[in-house]
Structure 1
Amino acid sequence: MAVRTIGELEDRLDNALAWRRIELQTLKSQIRAAYKKSAHSPLTRALARSGIALLYAHWEGYVKESCQAYVDYVAKRRLRVGELNDGLLKVVLDQLNRRSVSGDESAMLALMEAVRTPDNARARIPRDTIVDTKSNLRSTVLSDILQCIGFDADTFLTKNNLIDKTLCDGRNAIAHGRDYYPNPDEFDSLHDEIMSMLADIRSTIMLHAQEQRYRRI
C-alpha cells in the first residue's frame, strides 16, 4: 500500500508495531508462567529460545518495514536533488554514479543534470535498495540505514552492545542449533529494551516526516 500522507505513514507505523507488541507480550507472559512451573523443563527452554528468535525477527522486521514506509513517503514528495538532506543526496548520487559507471547512459545524463541544475533535477530515490537489513540487523547495519535516510544514528550508539551481543549473537546461536538458553529475567530485560528501541524508531520517523527533515536544512 502506498504511503502518501502523514496520516497514512503514522497508521502504517502504528499497525506494524501494535501486532508485534501483542505477540511479544503474549510470549513474554508464557515464558514467565512456564518458568514458574518448572525452571528447566523442555517447554520452558523451548519458549525462552523461541522468544529470542522472535524478538530478533520483530526487531529486523519493524525496522525494515517502518524505514521503508518512510522512504516510500519521501519518494512521494517528488523532491528535487537540491532539496534533499545530506543522507538522501548521497544515496541518490551514489546510485546514479554506479549505474553510469556500468554503462547506463540515462543515469549519466541524470547525474549531469543533478550536478548542473540540482534545483531543477528530479531526485530519483532508489526506494528498493536503501533499506537493506542484510538479514542480520547489527548496529553497523542499523547505522548505515539511518544515515542513508538522513537520521542521526548517534541516538542508538549506546545500544550497540545490546543489539550485537545480546540480541544478534543470541539469535544466531539459537538459529545455528547451539545450546543458548536465556532465563526469564534476561528475556524480560531484552524484550523491554527492544520494544523501547522500536518505539524510538517510530518516533524518529514521525518527527522527520512532520518536520520535513528529509529536506536540506
Structure 2
Amino acid sequence: MAKKVYTFDQLSKTIGEDYAWRRKELKLVNDLVSNNPSPKQNAALRFAIPILYAHWEGFAKKSTEIYLEFVAKKFLKHSELKSQFIALSLSKKLGSLEIKNIEEKTKTIDFLINEFEKKSNILTTNVIQTKSNLRYDIFREIIFIIGLDETKFINYKGLIDDLVDSRNNIAHGEFLKVDFNTYQIIFNEIQELMDLLKTEIENSALLEEFKKSV
C-alpha cells in the first residue's frame, strides 16, 4: 500500500480520496446511460454493470485494507485487542505448533498466556481477499476479519450476490438484458452500501472498536 495510515485523520483522508474518485467515475458512467429505450441504452446498461461491480469490489478491498493497516500500526498488546486481530498477529506462530495430545495442548495454552501481554504484530499482506467474486459470504468474512457488525450489512446480501451474477454473465459474453429501472436501483443501493462501509469503518476507527470490550 503506497500510503501509510497511522492516525484517524490519515485513515479518513485516504478512504475518502478512494471513495471520491470512484463516486465521480460512477456518476460519469451513469450519465452515459440514457433513460430512452434503444439499442444504445441496452449496450450502455451492459457495460455499466461490470464497472459498477469493479468499483464496489475495489472499494470494499481498499477500505478494509486501510483499516486493517490502521489497527496494525497501533501495535497494541494482544490483551487489548479483539480476538480476530490476535489471531492475525499470532497466526504464523500458531501455525507452526503441533497440537496432538494434552501435553501439546498445554504448551499451546502456555504459549498464548505468555503472548497475551506482548505487543501485536498483525498481518496485513494478502489478508483481505475478495477472490474476484465478492459474494456476500466472502464480504461477510472480510467484515468479520476487521471486526465490523454484520447486522449493518445483512440487508444488502441479495444486492451483492445479484451484482456478482450479473457481472459474471456479462463478462463471460452471455446476453443479459438489463432493465433500466432495475439498474438504477442497483446503482443507488451499491453507492449506499459503499457509503455505509465507509461510515462503519470510520466509526470503528474513531471509537476504537478494534479493542477488546472491557
TM-score in terms of structure 1 length = 0.87
Which residue of 2 is the match for residue 16 of structure 1?
18
Shift of 1:40: 3.0
Q: How many residues end up aligned between the 2 structures?
A: 202
Cα distance between partner residues in 1 of 2:89 and 2:7: 22
Q: Would you say 1:29 and 2:27 are equivalent positions?
A: no
Q: CA RMSD in A?
A: 1.8
CA contact (8 A) 1:53 1:171 kept: yes
Q: Would you say 1:134 and 2:136 are equivalent positions?
A: no
CA contact (8 A) 1:114 1:121 kept: no
Which residue of 2 is the match for residue 5 of structure 1?
7
- The SS at the match of 1:117 is helix
Moved more, 168-177 or 155-164: 155-164
Q: Would you say 1:151 and 2:148 are equivalent positions?
A: yes
1:20 to 1:200, Cα distance in 2 relative to 1, 3 A: same
Q: Which runs of 5+ in 1 are unaligned?
A: 102-110
Cα distance between partner residues in 2 of 1:24 and 1:209: 27
The partner residue of 1:200 within 148, 173, 196 is: 196
Shift of 1:46: 2.2
Opposite residue 86 of structure 2, the aligned amino acid is L
CA contact (8 A) 1:90 1:148 kept: no
Which residue of 2 is the match for residue 213 of structure 1?
209
TM-score in terms of structure 2 length = 0.88
Q: Spell out the pairing of 1:1-217 with structure 2 (5 A cutoff).
A: 1-31=3-33, 33=34, 35-36=35-36, 39-41=37-39, 43-100=40-97, 115-164=112-161, 166-217=162-213
Q: Which runs of 5+ in 2 are unaligned?
A: 99-107
1:193 to 1:115, Cα distance in 2 relative to 1, 3 A: same
Larger % of helix: which? Answer: 1
- The SS at the match of 2:197 is helix
CA contact (8 A) 1:64 1:133 kept: yes
